[in-house]
A and B are shown apart, each in its own frame.
Chain A
């Protein structure tokens, strides 16, 4: 048996050639890969970093062509007509939405796991549905609904953006559902609740004193995610003619670009902060499990 066909004379001569100096093939391949990765990483970091940098840069520019730095635009935020109200409205909406979504989802999901497992596919489908229906389509459907809501709202509360909560709960449904679902999967809901029930606890006690504490990180996670989503929401509010921070920001953009950009940078920073907090919350329980 001679050398197989693919190992022709070339290969043989390569093999018998004097040893080349330097590290081996794999070391060279690794070095090359490391370099390519470094270059790519830098390019992506620039693409994602520069616009954020520009946001901050733009908001601290001095008026005119001086090129100096000032916090003028940032300081103007609390005084700008309508802006503080819009910020407060967005914060209230964020709180209401996360609480609303949790109250709607947690009892239902626990109940379905315990007593109605047949319904779990339906609940999942319904919760994930808003992912497949564009928000702008939902707005079109919500428009007539909100005419009715407006009609029944007492005159003093008319045009309060807080009614957006109803729509926002739907928008955050998929995200809240996913976090809660993974949280619930990690604990044995059935055993926990049966144990508590056998000790004489009521369903409310089970939910509040037994399940909720065990679900803590997941609930916090879902709440933070909802807050982040609501703070950045523009589509629904603007098309239903309510003013939240994003709508106000967009309107200011035409007149006072630097203030608007300052608000945008501020909102972005708070959302970033929230989501980074979230990434630590998410790791908490996992670490506990791995040490067990």
Chain B
């Protein structure tokens, strides 16, 4: 009996082979290629040249831009998203607003790429709907700002805010009405409730969401690529250049080094996210 079960469990590993094989080939192999070849030249000899390339001023500035863009869009997305989440959370728990809002946010959080870029070009571009409307009022929206970092911040908010709503709503739902009433009966004002109870309680969830939004913006490529057709203001666009332009001698694996850099930044953000999240989850069950 025991021996047959043992054989069974040894054989049952076979059931997981297709999945593990596929994941190894199309997920783990490419990821390790990025890591390994960052330290290799075209002939697969070890070198630090690619990594040293990361120190070049325009690469450093691309990382700086990427981090700044991600941070600003994360803060804006987190603050506005938290406000929207509050609007949704204070509505009826089974109400229409909540159902529609969560469904729409689910769609918009995944929404990006070329379509999103086009939507904003059609809104605030030179010939955009809002641009033309405001022109009649004597306001000039048009300009190159949409195709630079400020434009990206605005456009990224479009998927960052909904993502924040999805991530933050469960935390808001965990805030019990008794806490507010307890503060009231103990003599506290709304302001004191916010300062001593609501804000400290929600801070871990908020910081966690902020990190998630940061990683989300940092990894985004398609929207930026559609808005900015050339150059490498941010790291993903640098990678585009590295992948699509003529390969310079000795720089074959520079794209991989850039990718490695991105992985490291995202990994740090996700690690912090996991740490912060675990803390808040204990409070808001």
Q: A residues touching B (Cβ–Cβ < 8 Å)?
A: 6, 33, 37, 40-41, 44, 47-48, 50-55, 57-59, 104-105, 107-108, 111-112, 115-116, 119, 123, 126, 129-130, 132-145, 166-167, 169-170, 173, 228-229, 232-235, 238-239, 246, 249-250, 253-254, 257, 260-261, 264, 267-268, 271-272, 275-276, 279
Contacts and interface: CB of A to CB of B under 8 A. Distances in A.
Nearest to A37: B87
Given A119-B16, A239-B240, A50 B221 contact: no
Contacts of A133: 31, 263, 266
A133 B32 CA distance: 12
A134 B23 contact: no
A50 B115 contact: no
B97 to A, nearest CB: 8
Contact of B91 (A37, A107, A119): A37
Contact of B259 (A112, A137, A257): A137
21 contacts: A51-B119, A51-B123, A105-B19, A115-B8, A115-B9, A134-B218, A137-B262, A139-B239, A140-B34, A140-B258, A141-B30, A141-B33, A167-B26, A170-B26, A232-B112, A239-B244, A249-B114, A249-B118, A253-B118, A253-B226, A271-B111
B228 to A, nearest CB: 12
A47 B37 CA distance: 43
A253 B12 contact: no
B143 interface: no
Interface of B: 8-9, 12-13, 15-16, 18-20, 22-23, 26-34, 37, 80, 83-84, 87, 90-91, 97, 99, 103-104, 106-108, 110-116, 118-123, 127-130, 157-158, 161-162, 187, 215, 218-219, 221-222, 225-226, 229, 236, 239-240, 243-244, 255-256, 258-259, 262-263, 266-267, 270
Contacts of B15: 107-108, 111-112, 115-116
Contact of A50 (B34, B129, B256, B259): B129
A15 B81 CA distance: 40
B90 A37 contact: yes
Given A126-B23, A235-B221, A136 B236 contact: yes
A134 B266 contact: yes
B87 to A, nearest CB: 5
Contact of A137 (B34, B110, B158): B34
Contacts of A135: 219, 221
A234 B30 contact: no
B130 A50 contact: yes
B236 A33 contact: no
Contacts of B29: 141, 145
A257 to B, nearest CB: 8
Contacts of B222: 234-235, 238, 246
Contact of B27 (A33, A40, A170, A279): A170
A144 B34 CA distance: 10
Nearest to B257: A140
A54 B116 CA distance: 11
B114 A48 contact: no
A264 B119 contact: yes
A285 B128 CA distance: 44
B16 A108 contact: yes
Contacts of A249: 114-115, 118
B64 to A, nearest CB: 18
Contacts of A141: 29-34, 256, 259
A50 B161 CA distance: 15
A24 to B, nearest CB: 14
B178 to A, nearest CB: 16
A238 B30 contact: no
A250 B267 CA distance: 31
Nearest to B219: A134
Contacts of A268: 111, 115, 119
A133 B35 CA distance: 12
B246 to A, nearest CB: 14
Contacts of A173: 23, 27
B158 A48 contact: yes
Contact of A246 (B26, B114, B157, B218): B114
Given A55-B122, A250-B114, A264-B119, A104 B236 contact: no
